[in-house]
Amino acid sequence: RVSGGTQTQIADITDLITPGTTYSVKIERSGTSIVVYRNNVALASASDATFLTGKVGFGSRNDTCTFDNLNVTVGTPPPTPTPTATPTPTPTPTPSDGIPAALRTVNVSSVSTLQTAINNAIPGDHIVLVNGSYSLSASVSVSSKNGTAANPIVIQAASILGVTFTGTGAFNVTSSSYIIIQGFRFTGSTGSSGADGLNLNGSNNCRITRNYFHMTDSIKAYWTYITGAGDDHRIDHNEYANKPAEGCFIVVYGTSSPYDMSKRVRIDHNYLHGQTFTGANGGEAIRFGDSNRQNIDAFGLIEFNLFESNTGDVEVFSNKSSSNTIRYNTLRNNTGSIVLRHGDDNTVEGNFLIDGQNGIRFYGDNHKIIGNYFSGDSGTGVLSTLGIGNGNIADAPGGNTGYDQPNNCIVAFNTFVGNSTNVVFGLQGTSSFPATGTVFANNILQSDSGTLVSSSSGTPSGTIWEGNILWGAASNGIIPASGFTRVNPLLSLGQFSVYRIASNSPAVNASVNSANYGYLTTDFDGQSRTGTRDIGADEYSTASIVRRPLTTTDVGPNGL
């Protein structure tokens, strides 16, 4: 309510919204009362005398929310039909995915007519390539073409995965904006020059969605490559399959003179599997930055991806920039981890790391490793379940390829159950630069083998140990007695084959200094965490489970 220039909050809605999603929002006013609806479900109501004669409208603060298609009805509004569930997308028809309707549809049936249509494209064009197989002897080029947020330029197959590209040509988007590429199979060869598959160079606000990548590499190549001066891209619902050669599925960089990172890149709902390159380096599924860009804030969001059976590089996701969030992903049966190799101020939250040799390892400052679930991990050394590194330099400048000493990082509210190794300090680097100021709090560690907390080299300095629960035949290790309680947390295997605490678990409402973790608002199931939180990644609740370990039905071109 705004009255006399004074703004007053009179109702609060704590329901979550998903970035990049379109919602129907409705406000109904009746006398002195208003009701706010989202997707025809009432979320909040309030009463105030000013509503009787004042103005009612929509607005947004502190975010990038936008409103369009505004309808105003005076009197009794017509009934709004109850929304029906959207069926699982299938190869035909093409799902809308929030893509605006075409202002003009341009149907093409060859590579040459596709290129001509792209050259002549205007905002709102949907360029639709007839299903079939097409050989690219030269690259398809989208150069200096600009759609708008309301009317992007869409380049798509007639149906999802209905078009297959072979040959040695790539797909290049340069100096363009608001371009959407949807529904193609990229199965060609990167050629002897190592041409990358799909490139976004110096472009903004582009989207790569519901494509399939399985290319034949004869030399190092990246299958999706973001570089140059450009921000705000989304890579979603793609499948990246079976890459035995050097080079990553996805690489995100930025400019090189000066070095910068592409900002606010969102990578979500992709299925990344079968990256099996076993060279010394260069076989990550995703690389986000590099040593030259390690101190640059990228504000990337990597969420809801499924990494599976990537058995080459020890880094499945390699973070090499700052201020990124890696959350709600599932890693299953990999020989590689989420690794914060470079950069500061990153958050790794709510991920499921299950079986195989996949975990989390980090270097650098001010990271948050919170609310993650580790189960059945068999890795050791650099593939330990949670590796907290040593540095070989106190504070790495841009371009330095060493290990940045970890300082002031938070490891809290995680659950470790049934792993061969659990938490290992002192990985790589030197004992002269051990982790300092680590907060290790409110975690559950349960195992019948090995050591729960150990150090491979050096002694961590200034660690705050508090509120942890240890259980099982595994030895305690270096954690001091004041930092844990040895008690059965009453974990049981439940829905979606995940271990959760029982209602009578000693973890319930037992966390220490819970108020320090106000940013941790949900558990790994997506259930609310308020007040004195439960120890570990699970908050005991009878509410519906919102998040769970991902499967192939959730991600990729035909994922939800």
N residues, the chain: 560
Residue 168 tokens, joined: 């040695």
In this prediction, residue 62 carries a pLDDT of 46
Average pLDDT over residues 341-364: 97
User: In three state form, how does the secondary structure of 332-381 look?
Assistant: ECCECEEEEEECCCCEEECCEEECCECCEEECCECCEEECCEEECCCCCH
**pLDDT band, very low/low/confident/very high, at 281 (cuts 50, 70, 90):** confident
User: In three state form, how does the secondary structure of 212-272 look?
Assistant: EECCECCCCCCCEEEECCCCCCEEECCEEEEECCCCCCEEECCCECCECCCCCCEEECCEE
Residues 395, 366 contacting (CB under 8 angstroms): no
Residue 209 tokens, joined: 């969605």
In this prediction, residue 546 carries a pLDDT of 97
Q: Report the chain's mean pLDDT, rounded to a whole number.
A: 89
CA distance 107 to 130: 7
Q: State the residue for tokens 């329901």.
A: 15
Q: What is the dihedral of CA 518, 519, 521, 526, to 10 degrees?
A: -160
In this prediction, residue 61 carries a pLDDT of 47
Residue 330 has pLDDT above 60, yes or no: yes
Identify residue 153 by its one-letter amino acid code.
I
Q: What is the pLDDT of residues 46-88, one digit of tens each?
A: 777 665 666 666 565 445 555 555 555 554 433 433 433 433 3
**pLDDT band, very low/low/confident/very high, at 345 (cuts 50, 70, 90):** very high
Q: For residue 103, what are the CA distances in angstroms to 123, 146, 294, 409? A: 8, 15, 42, 50
In this prediction, residue 47 carries a pLDDT of 72
CA distance 541 to 503: 8
Residues 398, 342 contacting (CB under 8 angstroms): no
| Percent of the chain residues past pLDDT 70, beyond the cut | 83
Query: What sign has the CA pseudo-torsion 245, 248, 250, 256?
Result: negative
Residue 89 has pLDDT above 50, yes or no: no
In the chain, domain spans: 1-84, 222-517
In this prediction, residue 194 carries a pLDDT of 60
In this prediction, residue 506 carries a pLDDT of 99
139 vs 195, more confident: 139
Q: State the residue for tokens 């000693």.
A: 506
Q: Please indicate, yes or no, whether the overall pTM of this predicted structure exceeds 0.75.
A: yes
Q: What is the pLDDT of residues 374-415, one digit of tens each?
A: 999 999 999 999 999 999 999 999 999 999 999 999 999 999
* CA 112 from centre of chain: 36
Beta strand pairing call for 6-7 and 2-3: antiparallel
Q: What is the pLDDT of residues 434-487, one digit of tens each?
A: 999 999 999 999 999 999 999 998 789 999 999 999 999 999 999 999 999 999
Residues 6+ apart with CB under 8 A from 147: 121, 123, 124, 125, 153, 177, 178, 179, 180
CA distance 113 to 28: 50
Residue 480 tokens, joined: 């001091």
Query: What sign has the CA pseudo-torsion 477, 481, 482, 483?
Result: positive
Architecture of domain 222-517: 3 Solenoid (2.160)
Residues 300, 288 contacting (CB under 8 angstroms): yes
Q: For residue 493, what are the CA distances in angstroms to 182, 385, 498, 499, 500? A: 39, 20, 5, 4, 7
In this prediction, residue 458 carries a pLDDT of 79
In this prediction, residue 142 carries a pLDDT of 98
Q: State the residue for tokens 């299903």.
A: 131
Q: Is 3 helix (H, G, I), strand (E, B) or coil?
A: strand
Phi, psi of 275 (to 5 degrees): -85, 110
**pLDDT band, very low/low/confident/very high, at 560 (cuts 50, 70, 90):** confident
Q: Which helix (H) or strand (E) holds 445?
A: strand 444-446
In this prediction, residue 279 carries a pLDDT of 80
In this prediction, residue 67 carries a pLDDT of 53
Residue 4 tokens, joined: 């006399």
Residue 95 has pLDDT above 70, yes or no: no
Phi, psi of 273 (to 5 degrees): -150, 150
Residue 428 has pLDDT above 60, yes or no: yes
Average pLDDT over residues 291-313: 98
Residue 277 has pLDDT above 60, yes or no: yes
Pick from 89, 161, 162: nearest CA to 559: 89
Residue 182 has pLDDT above 90, yes or no: yes
The tally of CA atoms less than 13 A away on the side-chain side of residue 508 is 10
Identify residue 227 by its one-letter amino acid code.
T
The tally of CA atoms less than 13 A away on the side-chain side of residue 195 is 19
Tell me the longest C-alpha to C-alpha distance in the chain. 74
